[in-house]
A = this chain, B = another copy of it.
Amino acid sequence: MLPDKLKEECGVFGVFGHPEAARLVYLGLYALQHRGQEAAGICSSDGQTLYVERGTGYVADVFGEPRLDRLRGEAAIGHVRYSTAGDSSLNNAQPILISGGQGRLALCHNGNLTGVTELRSSLAAAGAVFHSTSDSELILHLISRSKETELERAVVDALQGVSGAYSLLIQKADCMIAVRDPLGFRPLCLGRLNHKSQAWVVASETCALDLINAEYIRDIEPGEMILLDRHGLRSIQFAPGDAPAFCSFEHIYFSRPDSRVFGRSVMLSRQALGRVLAKEAPADADVVVPIPDSGVPAGAGYAAASGLPIEFGLIRNHYVGRTFIEPKQSIRNFGVKVKLNPVRELLQNRRVVLVDDSIVRGTTSRKIVQMVRAAGAREVHMRISSPPIISPCYYGIDTPTRAELIAANHSVDEVRRYIDADSLAYLSHEGLMCALEDNNRKYCTSCFSGKYPSKIN
């Protein structure tokens, strides 16, 4: 992805009841690679034993034939991760595999628990031993400490003790559990794969169902727990889920445009964001240039609503390797040039509307504006298809500190001057609601408003 973007922390994918379970999870994770590129892991079960393989890098680099062959059995869960800088000295890889009061359990977690400092301390005081710094491990401790003997009850019991965002997959030798927190911050959907017998699939996004030809059944609901075992599927509503707080940023930026998330097409949401933005913030310009890849749908919406032509005036280089050596000498705007190159013929002497989904620190936007000017644009108008980000996310998105969020500390005009644009406009909160058709305020917009739907400390 481009530098200076918010980062999703994970994606999860599970298959229950298929002879190629681990290979399907591998494919599912590949389709969810945009949700985390730094590590990947899969845990499978053959009914008796859990097998786990994890590594750093892309899914397709971590897993080869020998590793997939070792992941035996008809059930498997997997995880892709964006590793927060954090503490390298304890191991945060997922799936986490442990043994405790419930026997062996593996867990994959998308989201972020809130208010864990106290919980961690009290567990430590009670003798708990942590092998990672992740909040995810806490859930396993709570499950293991539950007095309930049945796994499903122990999980429900454990979840009473935590708050925040969690879309979870839990695997035991003979069953799999999928859970979504009561506010449903992160997406989680259920699918079915018709093989000889029916297999169940659980995924962060529907695009991962598509790749393996699984049929989308429905979203797992906020506050719902799904139990998969040899008796089939059972659903338990462990908490009311009627006041959800769906992450609006999934529609703005994170999810793939070909996914349906929270019951809506991401592509259609992004086009609508662009259309509403065009209405709210028209520009006296010649051409709309989306910043690829994430700005393209909103750019198309903006162009359609404004009547301006869309031009692909910035070309993206998608070839990447494990590492990239920067030149020792300074090359102007190098960090952006490695990813984007302007098409001078489409920009020269034109008044350009750049459309992007968000501005985080502003550093990359500034370089792109400079690059577009250097390519000959007469004017550069920046349009952002979401409101200014003024507050960190505590629900599973890696945001910089408030001090680094340019819009948290500067007016729109100050941001405009910093990024050196002729004009700058963000989408309004109302525009966001309108584009997402969110009359019932089901969406979390805390990063734009600073108002959090749950206690965060």
A contact set with B: CB distance below 8 Å: 20, 23-24, 26-27, 30-31, 33-34, 37, 49-52, 57-65, 68, 70, 87-91, 96-101, 104, 124-131, 133, 137, 140-141, 144-145, 195, 207, 210-213, 256-258, 265, 267-268, 293, 296-297, 300, 304, 309-312, 315, 317-325, 327-329, 331-332, 337-338, 341-346
Contact = CB atoms under 8 A, between A and B. Distances in A.
A1 to B, nearest CB: 10
A343 B211 contact: no
Contact of A319 (B37, B89, B98): B37
Nearest to A264: B345
A250 to B, nearest CB: 15
A118 to B, nearest CB: 15
Contact of A60 (B65, B124, B210, B320): B320
Most buried by B among A89, A97, A212, A309: A89
A317 B212 contact: no
Nearest to A49: B89
A129 B329 contact: no
23 contacts: A23-B328, A27-B327, A30-B338, A33-B317, A50-B89, A59-B321, A62-B321, A64-B323, A68-B325, A70-B88, A99-B131, A101-B124, A101-B127, A128-B144, A129-B129, A131-B131, A207-B341, A210-B337, A212-B327, A256-B315, A267-B345, A296-B312, A300-B312
Contacts of A128: 100-101, 127-129, 144
Most buried by B among A130, A133, A319, A342: A319
B97 A324 contact: no
Given A60-B319, A64-B323, A324-B60, A98 B30 contact: no
A140 B129 contact: yes
Given A99-B90, A125-B101, A328-B20, A210 B341 contact: yes
A93 to B, nearest CB: 10
A38 to B, nearest CB: 12
Contact of A325 (B52, B63, B265, B296): B63
Contacts of A268: 345-346
Contacts of A322: 60-61
Nearest to A256: B315
A345 B212 contact: no
Closest 8 CB pairs of A and B: A60-B321, A127-B145, A33-B319, A258-B315, A265-B345, A61-B321, A318-B318, A99-B130
Contacts of A300: 310-312
Contact of A343 (B68, B97, B265): B265
A51 B258 CA distance: 42
B124 A141 contact: no
Contacts of A321: 57-62
Contacts of A329: 20, 195
A208 to B, nearest CB: 10
Given A125-B101, A127-B126, A304-B309, A23 B345 contact: no
Contacts of A131: 96-99, 131
Nearest to A63: B325
A133 to B, nearest CB: 7
A438 to B, nearest CB: 18
B34 A267 contact: no
Given A91-B97, A257-B343, A258-B342, 8 more contacts: A23-B327, A61-B321, A90-B104, A99-B124, A100-B128, A129-B140, A211-B341, A213-B331
A344 to B, nearest CB: 8
A97 B89 contact: yes
A16 B133 CA distance: 26
Contacts of A267: 312, 315, 343, 345-346
Most buried by B among A30, A49, A68: A30
A196 to B, nearest CB: 10
Given A124-B99, A267-B346, A332 B211 contact: no
